[in-house]
Structure 1
Amino acid sequence: MFFATLKLLRESPLRILWGGHESVLIFFILSGYVLSLTYLKGKQQKYPQYIIKRLCRLYIPFVVAVIIAIILNKMFYTGSGSFASLSGWINNHWAEFQWNSFINHFLFIGNYDTHAFNGPIWSLVHEMRISIVFPLLMYIVMRYGLRLNVTIAFVLSFIGFGLSKLTGSSNIDFFITLHYASLFIFGALLAKYTDDVVQYYKTLANSARILLFVTSVLLLTYPYWLLPNLGIIHIRVINDWVSATGAIILISLALSDETFVRYLMSKPLLFLGKISYSFYLYHFIIILALLHALYGVIPVWTICVFSIMATFLVASVMYWLVELPGIKSGRLLTNSSKQKIPVSADAGSAKVG
């Protein structure tokens, strides 16, 4: 009965509460939104300054997290398939330490097995690649209108996805990066047309606003509740675009609805926003370390509770010890330490799944 109920929840719109991939799509759109703001305000920096700050923001915390992941792997890894009652997905994470994997991780933008040490970092590989060329994407967004930019986004997405299928795709395939770059474009477009979005929202009745919210949740979770076993309507690129549409609507509501804004500006959520990048970097390696150390000793649900508590603690500490010094290093290296820039405006840019 319990597992039947769990399966029902997994294949329902409630999947939004823990949908990792959908959260990453939101993150990519938010990254495009946040990175575009300086350009739209006419305050963009020269490219060397931009890329140095971006590297310090993303790469320094990433390197520290990978080192910690390797240390925990060496300390606690008990072998592949250690968790008999758990899924193959969780059993396939972590592997014996290999130097070539170690080196590839530190190259950061290469093509390697992220499952070896810290699976969720696959999204950071795309984030860094797209960050390198984002000024070019932003030039296109600012130079051309909505229709052409949307066309370019879809063309990039389908070309990237098509080439990845032809060449043999992986979760950090170079061609898949083209697909995700389209989401950055949509985030930048959302920033460009924020005033129009907010003005339109103000014209809507409360019933229409509620309907929009429900629609956003349904679209975000589309791959799970709408005939999930019917492959023809669940090609990856289609799933991503339907979910991304839901994400765009949800972010638009967050920008427009006063109640939504007050909720997001509450102190607990602001704090979570600050530590979100570190939370993303460490949550999975903490789960794996505790599973390898405690599986079969205490119940799995207890390990999950401990993992959540430990992740909040570790993320808070690493934000102060690693993220903030990284941000300050970027300012120092670009001679902009005197500029008062909100340190939490780009939580890498907002990690969740």
Structure 2
Amino acid sequence: MRAQRYAALDGLRGFAAVVVVVFHAGMAAPVLAGDVGIEEGHWSWWAAETPLHLFWAGPQAVYLFFVLSGFVLTLPFLRRPRPSWLGYYPRRLVRLYLPVWASLAVAVGLYFLFPRESRPGASWWINAHDMPLTRDGLQHDLSLLEWTTMLNSPLWSLQWEVYFSLLLPVYVLLAALSRRVRFLAPVLALALLGLTALGESTLTAWLVYLPMFGLGTLLAAHREEVGRLLRGMRTWAWGLLLVVALLLVETSWLPSPVAPMIATPLSVAGAALVVCAFLYSPGAVRVGEFRVSQWIGRRSFSLYLVHEPVLVSLAVVLATTNPAVILGIGLPLAVLASAVFYRLVEAPAHRFSGQVGRAFGGGGRSRAVTPPAAAAPVAVAPAGAPVPVAPVAVAPAVAPVAVGRPED
């Protein structure tokens, strides 16, 4: 039976990638980067202290990426026949690393074409790109295992994607167990949010980010129950749920600022609700399946990887701190660059990763990790640096599932 495809999640991924681009354009402005205070009534106040902040909520968009990754990567291992773990690991690592390495080549080229030099009046974020290009820094950027540099700063989030990908069997096991033990799923969800809160309070990055993927795995394991709960909702109820989700996603503009140890778990919970909306809300699904949504969604990983060197180069060449200018010129350039990158790098890497996975997996199926009762057939901070402010991929029980690109 052909796998069911939830194309709206591709569109959602594309929206999140565009939000990250807008965020980085905003970071070129000292007032939005936090270099100077924001005066009430100033345009920056409207951008930062009202719900308009949702349009450039970059960190929260990365949380959404993490929840989506947890959902998508877990699904194939919760159905029979399960993919081979021997094929999964090389396929996944090739899928991640080849585009990352190519994006670093692009970043190095732009680094030399448009030298990054600190200048008075520029934001700290733009000036932070005035850094020497060293072998040690490049090795860390290429490996994604410890810390990353400002050469292509969104790569910080790919570090956590790699760690999650390596730890996927643990997540799958917990998700499968949550289907066997009554009420374990909500307990695990609260525990994961609690770990994120603990990570924020102790400044422990892995505790902040790795639990976010876990919410996606739980949603994958319980998508049928969630679907039964949400599918019959009326339009007004979906509207209310989306308002609540967005309020949770972005708390920085609320009258009383919320501490990170509370705000971040709330944002992750809101991101999970947004994913639910794009799974089950007819209106959200239609928006996610618009042709333009699908086009940008398929290229969202490429856009995420190449946009930042483009925007920084533009800010350096124009010597401007005006985010409207950088966004107005930079967004079309970044989208064009992502289209070229997708055609020349990401799509071929995707095909090659599948070939590598088949070569190692041999078409075999895993017989471990998921307890039999749970396997009923079913359809982007670098160490030593401040916590990053920017990044950077449910069906009837009788059908296999494909959600967007399986390797994302």
TM-score range, shorter-chain basis?
0.7 to 0.9
Cα distance in structure 2, aligned partners of 1:63 and 1:53: 16
Higher-RCO chain (CA-CA 8 Å, sequence separation at least 6): 2
Match of 1:28 in 2: 66
Which position in structure 2 is the counterpart of 1:134? Answer: 168
**Correspondent of 1:9 among 47, 50, 53:** 47
Q: How far has the Cα of 1:35 moved from its partner?
A: 0.6
- What does residue 335 of structure 1 align with? 358
Please name the residue that 1:241 is paired with: 265
Distance 1:196 1:148, change over 3 A: closer
Offset at residue 151 of structure 1 (A): 4.0
Separation in 2 of the partners of 1:147 and 1:67? 48
| Range moving further from structure 2, 41-50 or 274-283 | 41-50
Alignment match of 2:104 (pick from 66, 70, 73): 66
1:314-353 correspondence runs (5 A): 314-335=337-358, 345-346=404-405, 349=408
1:292 to 298, 316, 327: 316
1:216-255 to structure 2, matched below 5 A, reads: 216-228=245-257, 233-234=258-259, 236-255=260-279
Deviation at 1:221? 0.8
Q: Deviations over 1:224-253 (max 9, x none)?
A: 32422xxxx41x232111111111111111
Q: State whether structure 2 residue 313 is matched by structure 1 residue 277.
A: no
Q: CA 1:225–1:210 in 2, change beyond 3 Å: closer, same or farther?
A: same
What is the CA-CA distance between 1:42 and the residue it aligns to? 2.3
Counterpart residue type for residue 114 of structure 1: T
The answer to whether the 8 A contact 1:277-1:347 is kept is: no
Matched, 1:121 2:159: no
Provide, for residues 156-212 of structure 1, a one-character-per-residue CA deviation record: whole Å limited to 9, x for no partner.
Answer: 66557657865xx5xxxxx52243221111111112222222222234343322211
Residues 194 and 265, structure 2, Cα contact 8 Å, conserved in 1: no
Q: Which deviates further from its counterpart, 260-269 or 22-31?
A: 260-269
AA aligned to 2:404 is A
SS in 1 for 2:301: helix
Q: Which secondary structure state, in structure 2, belongs to the residue aligned with residue 42 of structure 1?
A: coil
Deviation for aligned residue 1:277:
0.2
Contact 2:89 2:357 in 1 (8 A): no
Bigger shift: residues 2-11 or 252-261? 2-11
The answer on whether the counterparts of 2:73 and 2:407 sit within 8 Å (CA) in structure 1 is no
Task: Name the CA shift for 1:202/1:344 in 2 (closer, same or farther; >3 Å).
Answer: closer
Query: Alpha carbons of 1:209 and 1:66: their partners in 2 closer, same or farther (altered >3 Å)?
Result: same
Question: Matched residues in 1 for 2:227 and 2:198: separation?
Answer: 35
Residue 19 of structure 1 pairs with residue 57 of structure 2: yes
Aligned to 2:233, what secondary structure does the other structure show?
Answer: coil
Q: How many angstroms does 1:344 deviate by?
A: 8.4
Is 1:92 paired with 2:128? yes
Provide the rounded CA distance (Å) in 2 between the counterparts of 1:343 and 1:279. 22
Which one is further off, 155-164 or 210-219?
A: 155-164
Aligned pairs for 1:304-315 within 5 A:
304-315=327-338
Q: What letter is aligned with 1:26?
A: L
Secondary structure of 1:177's aligned partner: helix
Q: Residues 157 and 182 of structure 1 are in contact (CA less than 8 Å); yes or no, is this contact kept in structure 2?
A: yes
For 2:174 and 2:362, locate their aligned partners in 1 and report how far apart those are by CA, in whole Å.
31
Task: Decide whether the 8 Å contact of 2:116 with 2:130 is kept in 1.
Answer: no
Conserved in 1, the CA contact under 8 Å of 2:103 and 2:305?
yes
1:197/1:256 contact within 8 Å kept: no
Q: Within 2, Cα distance between the matches of 1:23 and 1:148?
A: 28
How far residue 153 of structure 1 moved from its aligned partner, in angstroms, is 5.4
One-letter amino acid of the counterpart of residue 352, structure 2: S
Provide the rounded CA distance (Å) in 2 between the counterparts of 1:196 and 1:338. Answer: 34
Question: Distance in 2 between the 1:60 and 1:346 partners?
Answer: 16
Larger % of helix: which? 1
* % identical aligned pairs: 24
How far 1:38 moved relative to its partner?
0.6
Mapped to 2, the partners of 1:286 and 1:198 lie a distance apart of 40
* Cα RMSD (Å): 2.9
Match of 2:85 in 1: 47
